[in-house]
Structure 1
Amino acid sequence: MSTNFSGFVGEVQHRIDAGNQADAVRTTRAVLTTLGERVVEGGATDIAGPLPMEIDRYLLAAEHGHTYDYDAFIQRVVDRLNYADLDLETGYGRPSQIEPGEAVYRAKAVVALLTETVPGGKIAHVEAQLPEEFDELFEFAEAETKPWAADPG
Structure 2
Amino acid sequence: MDFDEFTGEVQHRLDMPGTGETVRAIRATLTTLGQRIPEGNAADLAASLPLEIKWYLTGPVAEHGQRFDWQEFVTRVAEIEGADPADAAYHARVIMDVVQSQVPESDFSQLREMLPESEDTENWGSLFEVVDGER
Decide: shared fold, TM above 0.5: yes
**Structure 1 stretches lacking a partner, 5+ long:** 83-97, 146-153
Per-residue displacement from partner, 1:36-76 (whole Å, max 9, x unpaired)? 11000111001100011111000002221000010000000
Partner Cα distance (1:144, 1:15) in 2: 14
TM-score, normalisation: structure 2? 0.92
The answer for the alignment partner of 2:2 in structure 1 is 4
1:80 aligns with 2:80: yes
Partner Cα distance (2:56, 2:40) in 1: 14
The answer for the alignment partner of 1:26 in structure 2 is 24
The answer for the alignment partner of 2:127 in structure 1 is 137
Q: Which has the larger radius of gyration?
A: 1
TM-score, normalisation: structure 1? 0.81
The answer for the alignment partner of 1:15 in structure 2 is 13
Partner Cα distance (1:45, 1:144) in 2: 26
1:119 aligns with 2:104: yes
Partner Cα distance (1:55, 1:105) in 2: 19
Partner Cα distance (2:13, 2:57) in 1: 20
The answer for the alignment partner of 1:85 in structure 2 is none
The answer for the alignment partner of 1:89 in structure 2 is none
- % identical aligned pairs: 39
Partner Cα distance (2:104, 2:12) in 1: 22
Higher helix fraction (1 or 2): 2
**Structure 2 stretches lacking a partner, 5+ long:** 118-122
The count of corresponding residues between Structure 1 and Structure 2 is 128
Deviation at 1:144, TM superposition (A): 2.8
Q: Secondary structure at the match of 1:50?
A: coil
Structure 1 stretches of at least 4 aligned residues deviating more than 3 Å after TM superposition: none
